[in-house]
Every structure is written in structure tokens, then in C-alpha cells.
Amino acid sequence: MIMTRLASILFFAILAVGFLGQADVAVAKEKAADNYSLYCVQCHGSKGTGRGINAPALSVQPRNHTSAKDMSSLTDESVFKSIKEGGVAVGKSTQMPPWGGILTDEEVTDLVKHLRGMCKCEGKK
């Protein structure tokens, strides 16, 4: 009887942990999507194709985040660095600003994952 009780407590505990973990992931993903909307869409566009409202004023076309060909040519580390330190840090345009003073490292890491979801591609190894 006691064993059955313990087993059911353990079962529900495992379920609860599972749900919590899932909730964490879901929140993290949504946060990255929200951060993308607020900070990236102004140049990269709501579709992520590089055609945001600021794009016509830029001398360099913002990167198309949905392009598997373009995005798979970049390592996750270089994408992280360009978001955090700006385009100059990876030899690209100054028009990509450094978001490290606004976003945490964790938020930038989540954004890299979000971009990989947008391009449906993996980073260059």
C-alpha cells in the first residue's frame, strides 16, 4: 500500500517536473520571439527576410534570416557575436548594432536558437 502510494507520488512528481521544464522552454522561446520582434524586426522585417521599415535607408541589405543558404554559412558563435557586439565585431556592417548592452547573454543565446528556427538550418561547424 505504502509502496503504491510512493510510486504514485513519484509518478506525479516526474510529471510535474516535466511540465515545469516544458513551460520554461516555452517561455524562453516566446521571449526570443518577442525580443526578435522588438529589436530585430525594425531592420530585418516581420517576415525576417531583411525588409523591415528601416531597410530602405540602409546601404547594406539586412540579412535574410529565413535563408537557409545564407544562415548555414554562419557559425552560431559568429551569430551570437554579431548580435551582442554588432556587425563590426564579425567584419560586417556597422548598421548592425551591438545589442549586448540591452540584451543579456542568455537572451542573445535564445535569439540564436530562434534564428536557427527561422532558417530551419544549422550553423556552420
Min CB(69)–other proteins separation in Å:
16
Range 101-120, binding other proteins (CB under 8 A): 101-102
Grid cell at residue 3: 509502496
Measured CA to CA, the distance from residue 55 to residue 106 in angstroms comes to 27
HSE on the CB side for 100, CA within 13 Å? 10
Q: Does 68 bind other proteins (CB under 8 A)?
A: no
Measured CA to CA, the distance from residue 68 to residue 111 in angstroms comes to 16
DSSP secondary structure string for all residues of 92-110: S-TTS--GGGTS-HHHHHH
3 versus 101: smaller Cβ distance to other proteins: 101
Min CB(32)–other proteins separation in Å:
11
For residues 49 and 97, is the Cβ–Cβ distance under 8 A? no
Among the listed ranges 5-13, 74-82, 87-95, 108-116, the one in contact with other proteins (CB under 8 A) is: 87-95
32 versus 115: smaller Cβ distance to other proteins: 32
Q: Does 93 bind other proteins (CB under 8 A)?
A: yes
For residues 89 and 100, is the Cβ–Cβ distance under 8 A? no
Question: Which stretches of the chain bind other proteins, using CB under 8 A?
Answer: 34-35, 37-39, 41-43, 45-47, 49, 51-55, 57-58, 86, 93-95, 97-99, 101-102
